[in-house]
Amino acid sequence: MGLTLRLGGAGAFAALLLLSLSPGTATAATRHYWIAAVPVPWTIVPNGRDAINGVPYDAGRVPFETVVYRSYTRKWERQLPHAYGIQGPLIRGRVGDTILVHFKNLDNLVDHPHSMHFHGVHYPFGSDGSFIPGHSTRGANVKPGDSFTYRLVAGRDSVGVWPYHDHSPSMMESISGGLYGAVSIRGAREPAPDREFVVFLAALNDFMTIDGRAFVGNTPLFQARVGDLVQWDVLTLGDEFHTFHVHGHRWRQPGGGIVDVQTLGPAESFRIRWREDTPGTWLYHCHVESHMEQGMIGLYRVTR
């Protein structure tokens, strides 16, 4: 059901969008993502310790089951290898692209409804994925075993990184369990970076995590070489505000000043790019001290 209506709605919607798209959309693509909400075992502190402060965290080694987004081949036939992190697959697009996200709820852990709600991109109301009794459409409340296709368009005003997350009736518990991911939109003529780091800051159980892991040695070890165009995509969801810091580097905020620490609150996100010029084994971390102490810290290694 709904397919014709949905296409009809999207058609009218696409016409409205024309002014938002960049010139030269002739090369715009339609991209398909097959994604499911699925339980996985997860471990927050695989090595069981905070290496910097020399504190053991045995409880952090115990895996627990949680529901996350994972990528699949067409029609959810086979789960694809996952890059890294508790967050779902990185959904990529370029300005002008249509992105079809085919979502299936494979959550047999708690048998809850789920959905996908996307920031930054354009979509008709039917693809909003947010539960509002009496208003929302089927895509806001996808029951276990059911599926839904969200239709998104990357506008010129969508360039950058944005979160996506559950917005169904179970969103509060599912987001705190890791049911989120990132959308990455590149400008029509923007070059690809040489290195691309996704930094998802979030509370998880009693830890403050980066990509679902806590403490140096567990959080991602990002690597680059001098001369690389490096891209940091920084996001957060939940209740906490963070200040993202990378040692030994500075960046310009969009249209603004130069900083080496930047605040982000729940559902905010930003993209930082620089041409790497400083070798070292640098810390990156949230500069809220208690968050750093609870694990929100990692290493960034730059070699010549």
Q: Which stretch binds its own copies (CB under 8 A): 39-47, 67-75, 167-175, 207-215?
A: 167-175
Greatest extent of the chain over all pairs of C-alpha atoms, in Å: 60
H or E segment to which residue 302 belongs: strand 297-303
The answer to whether 129 and 150 have CB atoms below 8 angstroms apart is yes
Using CB under 8 A, which residues numbered 46 to 65 contact its own copies?
Answer: 51-54
Q: Tell how far CA 251 is from the center of its chain.
A: 21
Site for its own copies contains 39 (CB under 8 A): no
Q: What is the dihedral of CA 289, 219, 206, 141, to 10 degrees?
A: 120
Smaller CB distance to its own copies: residue 116 or 237? 237
Using CB under 8 A, which residues numbered 84 to 113 contact its own copies?
Answer: none
Spell out, one character per residue from 227 to 256, where the chain touches its own copies: x when CB under 8 A holds, - when not: ----------xxx-xxx-x-xx-x-xxxxx
75 residue type, one letter: K
- Supply the minimum distance, in Å, between the C-beta of residue 275 and its own copies: 10
Q: Which stretch binds its own copies (CB under 8 A): 22-30, 62-70, 98-106, 122-130?
A: 122-130
Q: Which of 82, 229, 273, 282: binder of its own copies (CB under 8 A)? A: 282
- Supply the minimum distance, in Å, between the C-beta of residue 189 and its own copies: 17
Smaller CB distance to its own copies: residue 88 or 298? 298
Burial of 109 (0-12, 13-18, 19+ CB in 10 A): middle
Helices (H), 137-220: 171-176
Site for its own copies contains 159 (CB under 8 A): yes
How far, in Å, are 88, 90, 179, 199, 284 from residue 85 at the CA level?
8, 11, 12, 9, 16
Cα first-last separation, the chain: 57
- Supply the minimum distance, in Å, between the C-beta of residue 258 and its own copies: 5
Smaller CB distance to its own copies: residue 72 or 88? 88
Smaller CB distance to its own copies: residue 128 or 211? 128
Site for its own copies contains 266 (CB under 8 A): yes
Using CB under 8 A, which residues numbered 200 to 229 contact its own copies?
Answer: 216, 226
Half-sphere exposure of 281 (CA within 13 A, CB side): 5
